[in-house]
Amino acid sequence: MLSAAWHDIQIYYTYPRLDAQVSKHRNHLLKAPFCVHPKTGRICVPIDPEKIDDFDLEMVPSVTRLLHELDTIGNTATTVDGTSGEHHSG
């Protein structure tokens, strides 16, 4: 009997629980790696708990920054056939 109670306690404190509000509303952040925070636009990134003192929130990428970086790369990239990735109309 005590073994069953101990098992229940372990499950209660260690098994992942889902919040009903988070599960049914799309605007809640699920805190899954690489999801986007709806208000800040920052990406949820995994961190090393051993290096938590070195964590810098300002270095966490945002969707805006990533899109800017992708645009920059797209404008300077070279395609497989060796031509410039820049598109010119003309």
pLDDT tens readout for residues 22-79: 666 666 656 678 888 878 889 988 888 899 999 998 899 999 999 999 888 877 765 5
Burial tier of 49 (Cβ tally within 10 Å: 0-12, 13-18, 19+): exposed
* 90 pLDDT tier (thresholds 50, 70, 90): very low
Rounded to a whole number of angstroms, the distance between the first and last alpha carbons of the chain is 81
What's this model's pTM, rounded to 2 decimal places?
A: 0.48
> Residue range 12-21: average pLDDT?
69
